[in-house]
Amino acid sequence: MTTTAIIELYVFVLAGFVGYLVITRVPPLLHTPLMSATNAMSGISLVGSLVAAGAAHNRVATILGFLAVVCATINVVGGFVITDRMLRMMRPDAKPNRGEAERKPPTGAAPGAAPGAPDA
């Protein structure tokens, strides 16, 4: 192995280790913004794979570029689906307004009667 290949392998392993440590220490509240940033980076890789597929250097490069486009597209779409699902889980349930229960007529009141009016 050349010195350059050893350095590239070292950087790759170090980046994987640091990435694992960072992701495992993210609190659940920050997962949605983190997913949004990851989706943006996946979009950049999608653009790069489109460039690689369209360069037409040779048939192998075009096929690999096409596979990269497919994989990056699946990654981006899946990331948006998961982010949307997480946002729906965090959305509070639709609850009536605090004062809404006070404005409802009491049970047994005539329809159209003013709230608090005596029964006839």
pLDDT, mean of each 10-residue run, the chain (120 residues)? 88 88 76 72 82 83 86 85 78 59 55 57
Which pLDDT belongs to residue 105? 55
Give the number of domains in the chain: 1
Residue 33 lies in domain: 29-91
CA angle 9, 10, 14 (to 5 degrees): 115
Which pLDDT belongs to residue 104? 56
Rounded Cα distance, 88 and 82, in Å: 10
Per the domain annotation, does 104 fall within a domain?
Answer: no
Helices 31-54 and 59-90 sit at what angle, rounded to 10 degrees?
160
Which pLDDT belongs to residue 78? 84
Q: What number of other Cβ atoms are within 10 A of residue 90's Cβ?
A: 11
Per the domain annotation, does 46 fall within a domain?
Answer: yes
Amino acid present at 95 = K
Per the domain annotation, does 67 fall within a domain?
Answer: yes
Per the domain annotation, does 114 fall within a domain?
Answer: no
How far is residue 28 CA from its own chain's centroid? 13
Per the domain annotation, does 1 fall within a domain?
Answer: no
Per the domain annotation, does 83 fall within a domain?
Answer: yes
